[in-house]
Structure 1
């Protein structure tokens, strides 16, 4: 009986944790759309001015600028949705000339998205930003209501004045209502906010997907090149290191066998050298095997593996891993190698005093962020291993973004599909 009760309690706890995580992710997505929603509202105002002033010629001059702003904003929204796990296949770059844009289907779809995101999306983003504030303020009101001025409003909505504990308790119940709204409706609100972007900013059924096909072809070629490079590296490591060690062991053992009868002391010395060479060969074999698929991922999981990398880094590094669902082994291995290479670069080149690794796994997408407070100026062409990182990420159809201005800080962001 007790076991059943414990199982039911564990099930309820798991449901509660999932609900909290889903609500938190939804609030983050809603509030994250506030930036693009405000910019969409600004572009919509510019578009209206362009249409109004078109008869006098000013609008015709403004049209290319407004179109470029529209396309740039749509691209930014695609990136935001991709970071939140909503893959949006970009169409071909739309035209910026007015005569071509009038009949361009992509531009028309982006205009429809602009209207929806600047109105409904803006309202949902405001709710995502203010609902947590309302919930915290009203639910904690009984703790501090005696310290507010007597004529101050008691609720987040600006009405009511608390004169007694029952009034304070009523405000508390309103706060509980805000929390219930967040837990119950926030995920649906987030989907409602993202739906116009997913539907209108992706390549339409009448759009030529040749660019996407070319991109996937290039990605596959890069993956094959990266695989061939990795095989050559493993072959070099085995040939130049382990094989030479084993040859040395064989030679020393043969010499020791010939000497054992006439010079036991010398044979013992040769056996010690052979044992040392065998141990070195074993260590090199372990190093090569770890470079293929680190066993620490299987033994300790991604969080433990990244914590180990951070502990071994010469620069103080903290890790924050929130990945409740395991990704494909190849994805986790890619994340491990990306972090290992990034931390090596930070220790060698950045002059940083601290670094941080952040991992999030949501809605089938894996997000990795490595940042440091070093001197910046990281360059893929400078031999820092960034090209190899990009190839590993591209092999999974992922994206890599590097921001490293001179003077720092440096931020490396990787987005990958979780896979199966």
Structure 2
């Protein structure tokens, strides 16, 4: 009995695995069509600008499959973002292996997933056929592959036995089918033979350490804000309330004046507390979304700011919060250090990545080592396996480009 339960559990896991692979194969099929269209258009010289985003789409689907395979077995390590530049991307061994995997999974993975989903449905349909065959006309035949005339309960029971066969096939063949579906991904999406993974491990270790450092800095900032601001205000409120209580009997007019001061101090403490809370996770992101939150930043910027946002739907809350803080810190840098007369912020979703570009016409010369907040931006971005590129020659202009993964 325990053996049967174990087999049923394995079969259910295999079915879930096949359905998950069917989902990624549908995505792979869509990206495959996109890549083919871009390749044909590139032959005519009009598709080259779309080649890099197409490779990014391939990487996104491949990463989804890596995540799925990792959940169901040994980890499948993936690379970082697709290298910038079409030539560098094509030379990348990971990109080449992903391009080889894409049609295999789009076709074979789809067929395996469809078959894996059809078999248990056919088993259920045929097993229950004796219960509902009376509702069919005899000339209609039966379900699935049954094409002959069903005359009475005996024929219906034969169909039920066919359902038992389907069920045996599900239990015996489902796990094998799931392994075959996963085979191209495990062979082609793993690091190429001879790849030195130590660099990738070191990169991930560094970014996670930077994320922890950024988190510690943020905690210290919050602690200082509460200690130096809100706490002092609340202490002042307590002192003023004590003074008002003592003056209540001797000089009621004086007590009223002290209470007014205590009320002002309490309002200031509440204002500072709201500021601290907004610095943790701006409520405006929940209320108005990323577009509305960035509108508020652009409107309050001391330098005239043009904002362009093209982000259909919502990204993950952590990605939106990171994007908000990146733009907020970048605009603060522009106001404090650049001497710019205008700034433009562009936020777009390109495939599975959120791209943020901040351009200003200031005097340039931005340097991460001079305490301009760029180090904090880099730590936040790299903690999400994102990328940041800064171009700021002396004399300007300055451009900061940030990419954040935002796959759902």
What TM-score, normalized by structure 2, do the two folds share?
0.57
Q: Could you tell me how far apart the structure 1 residues matched to 2:302 and 2:282 are?
A: 20
**C-alpha distance 107-322 of structure 1, shift in aligned 2 (>3 A):** closer
Q: Equivalent residue for 2:327?
A: 339
Matches within 5 A, 1:119-134: none
Matches within 5 A, 1:260-271: 260-271=248-259
Q: Could you tell me how far apart the structure 2 residues matched to 1:30 and 1:286 are?
A: 53
Matches within 5 A, 1:294-333: 294-333=282-321
Match of 2:391 among 388, 403, 411: 403
Q: Could you tell me how far apart the structure 1 residues matched to 2:338 and 2:55 are?
A: 31
* RMSD, aligned α-carbons: 3.8
Indicate if the aligned counterparts of 1:377 and 1:408 stay in contact, CA closer than 8 A.
yes
- Please state how far the C-alpha of 1:37 moved relative to its aligned partner: 6.7
Q: Equivalent residue for 1:232?
A: 220
Q: Equivalent residue for 1:208?
A: 196
Q: Could you tell me how far apart the structure 2 residues matched to 1:29 and 1:334 are?
A: 37
Q: Could you tell me how far apart the structure 2 residues matched to 1:248 and 1:372 are?
A: 43
Indicate if the aligned counterparts of 2:391 and 2:399 stay in contact, CA closer than 8 A.
yes
Indicate if the aligned counterparts of 2:57 and 2:351 stay in contact, CA closer than 8 A.
no
- Please state how far the C-alpha of 1:206 moved relative to its aligned partner: 3.9
Indicate if the aligned counterparts of 1:341 and 1:385 stay in contact, CA closer than 8 A.
yes
1:222 matched to 2:215: no
* Deviation per residue, 1:364-413 (Å, 9 max, x gap): 21111111111111100111000000011111111111011111111111
Q: Equivalent residue for 1:414?
A: 402
**C-alpha distance 79-324 of structure 1, shift in aligned 2 (>3 A):** closer
Point out the structure with max Rg over C-alpha.
2
**C-alpha distance 231-29 of structure 1, shift in aligned 2 (>3 A):** farther
Count of residue correspondences: 262
Q: Could you tell me how far apart the structure 2 residues matched to 1:314 and 1:344 are?
A: 9
**C-alpha distance 110-238 of structure 1, shift in aligned 2 (>3 A):** closer
Q: Secondary structure at the match of 1:369?
A: strand
**C-alpha distance 273-419 of structure 1, shift in aligned 2 (>3 A):** farther
Q: Could you tell me how far apart the structure 1 residues matched to 2:383 and 2:322 are?
A: 10
Indicate if the aligned counterparts of 1:84 and 1:363 stay in contact, CA closer than 8 A.
no
- Please state how far the C-alpha of 1:258 moved relative to its aligned partner: 1.2
- Please state how far the C-alpha of 1:363 moved relative to its aligned partner: 2.5
Indicate if the aligned counterparts of 2:356 and 2:401 stay in contact, CA closer than 8 A.
yes
1:393 matched to 2:381: yes
Q: Could you tell me how far apart the structure 2 residues matched to 1:255 and 1:28 are?
A: 80
Q: Equivalent residue for 2:346?
A: 358
Gaps of 5+ in 2: 1-29, 64-77, 84-89, 101-186
- Please state how far the C-alpha of 1:228 moved relative to its aligned partner: 0.7
User: Bigger shift: 347-356 or 203-212?
Assistant: 203-212
What TM-score, normalized by structure 1, do the two folds share?
0.55
Gaps of 5+ in 1: 1-18, 39-76, 94-105, 117-198
**C-alpha distance 107-228 of structure 1, shift in aligned 2 (>3 A):** same
**C-alpha distance 34-90 of structure 1, shift in aligned 2 (>3 A):** farther
- Please state how far the C-alpha of 1:301 moved relative to its aligned partner: 0.8
